Chain A
Amino acid sequence: MEVTKETLLGFYETMVTIRTFEEKAMELFAAGYIPGFVHLYIGEEAVATGVCANLTERDFITSTHRGHGHLIAKGGKIDLMMAELMGKVTGYCKGKGGSMHIADVDLGILGANGIVGAGQPIAAGAAFACKYKKQDNVCVCFFGDGASNRGTFHEALNLASIFKLPVIYVCENNLYGISNCQRDHMNVSDISDRAASYGIPGVSVDGNDVMAVYEAAAEAVKRARKGEGPSMIECKTWRHRGHFEGDPGIYKNAKEQEAWIKKDPIIKLEKKLVEYEYAAEDELNAIKDAAKERIEAAVEFAKNSPDPEPEDVLRDVYAD
């Protein structure tokens, strides 16, 4: 597949924005600005970036508890995200949801989710709506290796397969569900093998190689848009941080961690950009600096935003 310089630099910018956002969230959580649970996407940026590059605003995604990267890649606004993380009334969910529930329904982002595996049937439903309305938009469902053990996974993929729904199941296999590593929580090594049980295509790709992810997703999205039904893509990757901020990750092998850090998706892409002579180091630094500036502005916005009012508790329970 031909990928232009602009496309690759676009990937780089998105990945760097996600990384910078997450590093900031980490810092703000430690400093007490962000309450609750924060699950960071650091190390997995290539997945959301490569997949969402195939989507438009009319397409849907369902996200997870580790959702910041999905939102940014799908075009989510970082100032509204940052304000939501801090529980401000200007945030995406008016301070009602926080990190685990950020959504932008106008952009087709049907929410991060606090219930592991809950997005799988919801994604089938969004895809059902696309098909029902005879439109060619699609839904992408992001979920983890751990989530692929939920009953929702099996029920949703079966339903999607018999209904031939335009949905792409993207498994972010970071090899762990909290402390439970893949070899202890399932008996297969390629989660994409599970697609065969539903008679749909399943592929495994290097989730730290944004090009590989992009290409696999392009194929699956094309199929879905043409009415050829669902697919599954397994992206093998690694989370650099603990499960949530505050988890020291004692269950991980230090050597394994070290090896995976070396396979950092951003560094991988940087090498490629330099090798192809698409960008020199100072240009890459300029992209990084610009991301930092945008994130700082988002933080300022969030910090200067007001809290919700106590009366807001009872608002938005029902539609009027």
Chain B
Amino acid sequence: MKTMTYVEALRDGMRFEMNKDPNVYLAGEDVGIFGGCFGQTAGLYQEFGPERVIDTPITETAIIGHAVGAAASGLRPIVEIMFIDFTGVCMDEILNQATKMRYMFGGKAKVPMVIRTPCGAGVGAAAQHSQSLEAFFTHIPGIKVVMPSVAADARGLMIAAIRDDNPVMYIEHKGLLGVEGEVPEGDVVVPLGKADIKKEGSDVTIVAWSAMVGKAMNAAASLEKEGISAEVLDPRTLKPLDIDSILSSVAKTGKLVIVHEANKTGGFGGEIAALVADQGFDYLNAPIKRVTAPDSPVPFSPVLEKAYVPGEEKIIAAVKELFA
């Protein structure tokens, strides 16, 4: 075990695989000497050189498109989109190319590529640099979606994502990059599609991912003092989703609150709620609650942004409603 920040951990995951597999390379805007907009790739250019850590022009369409071609031809690209908001610029390459090629070709192609991209509000970056767009991608068959919440998962999921033979959307939260945690060293993978119980509890299940896990943990600690024992479950991978772990938890607690930073309508919380309503209806003794951002773009002003991002108090209130 080693203490690392989330950003160091995800970088260490990339470094580990780059050392192991010469077909893994990294490309994106300012990933070289600049080290990434949030320092995610710092030092990798010096370590692996310009052939494997490649600065591209501002050209998201070609960043993703070239990765599809390179992946289909035997390489394993890690490509960075500087903010998840910019995936709008290369949506065809994700939606109609990377994720469709294998299926359309009758299973005869492999597209092993990782799209690394930061999400999330909280840094005053406003409507085009702060979104949580995971549900756009979970809706597309053919791509996996991971969203680590702690440093250990950031590293383990990165290694798993690079080794996976499919396109993987690796979504890192800007607000978590500097958060420290204990991280196992060496060849330690966090398998895709496996949830993690971050805190055990018996009265209510809180499903949260990415930056919302920390808030759910704080909410659970406050609720504990009031006699409510909350279990905090982090799916870590949204697609494939470990629905079995969610169902087992709900079978134990009988109550479910889902928390995500993305806005509500069409958010992935709705999918989890539907799955639990379908497969775990008998376990439930209360309605399923969702705590999410409102259906608006992310506002700039700190006052508005604070009102936008779901906070602990909203999670606590949603849980308490179930016990009223």
Interface residues of A (CB under 8 A from B): 35-37, 87-89, 93, 95-98, 100-101, 113-117, 146-147, 149-151, 177-180, 184-186, 250-251, 307-314, 317
Contacts and interface: CB of A to CB of B under 8 A. Distances in A.
A317 B296 contact: yes
Contacts of B127: 96-97, 101, 114
Which of B30, B59, B126, B294 has the most chain A CB atoms closer than 10 A to its own CB? B126
Chain A's interface: helix, strand, loop or mixed, by majority?
A: loop
Interface in B277-301: 294-297, 299-301
Given A186-B57, A314-B296, A114 B128 contact: yes
A27 B299 CA distance: 23
Given A87-B302, A178-B29, A100 B128 contact: yes
Given A37-B125, A98-B126, A179 B30 contact: yes
B304 interface: yes
Contact of A150 (B59, B123, B306): B59
Interface string B236-276: 00000000000000000000000000000000000000000
Nearest to A306: B303
B33 interface: yes
Contacts, number: 128
A96 B301 CA distance: 6
Contact of A313 (B29, B33, B57, B307): B307
Interface in B56-85: 57-59, 61, 85
Given A36-B125, A37-B125, A180-B57, A250 B300 contact: no
Which of B32, B129, B295, B301 has the most chain A CB atoms closer than 10 A to its own CB? B301
A50 B151 CA distance: 50
A146 B296 contact: no
Contacts of B58: 116-117, 146-147, 149-150, 177, 180, 185
A95 B302 CA distance: 9
A226 to B, nearest CB: 33
A312 B303 CA distance: 10
Given A101-B126, A114-B126, A178-B29, A185 B57 contact: yes
Interface string B41-69: 00000000000000101110100000000
Contacts of B33: 179, 250-251
B84 to A, nearest CB: 12
Nearest to B125: A36
Given A149-B58, A186-B57, 8 more contacts: A95-B304, A100-B128, A177-B58, A178-B29, A185-B58, A313-B304, A314-B294, A314-B296
Contacts of B299: 95-96, 308, 312-313
B309 to A, nearest CB: 10
A53 to B, nearest CB: 29
Nearest to A309: B303
A87 B276 CA distance: 41
A88 B58 CA distance: 32
A311 B143 CA distance: 37
B308 interface: yes
B303 A308 contact: yes
B292 to A, nearest CB: 13
A310 B57 contact: no
B16 interface: no
B34 A251 contact: yes
B34 A178 contact: yes
Contact of A149 (B57, B123, B303): B57
B55 A180 contact: yes
Nearest to B302: A35
A177 B308 CA distance: 31
B300 A97 contact: yes
A37 B34 CA distance: 17
B175 interface: no
Interface in B97-125: 123-125
Contacts of A312: 299, 304
A96 B55 contact: no
Contacts of B61: 151
A32 B58 CA distance: 30
Contacts of A185: 55, 57-58
A37 B85 CA distance: 15
A64 B28 CA distance: 21
B89 interface: yes
Contacts of A313: 294, 296, 299, 304, 307-308
A177 B300 contact: no
Contacts of B32: 179
Contacts of B302: 35, 87, 307
A310 B303 contact: yes
Contacts of B307: 310-311, 313
Contact of A308 (B29, B123, B126, B304): B304
B30 A180 contact: yes
A252 to B, nearest CB: 11
A88 B302 CA distance: 10
A133 B124 CA distance: 39
A247 B58 CA distance: 18
Which of B33, B61, B302 has the most chain A CB atoms closer than 10 A to its own CB? B302
Contacts of A147: 58
A317 B297 contact: yes
Interface string B163-204: 000000000000000000000000000000000000000000
A177 B30 CA distance: 9
Given A146-B58, A185-B57, A100 B301 contact: no
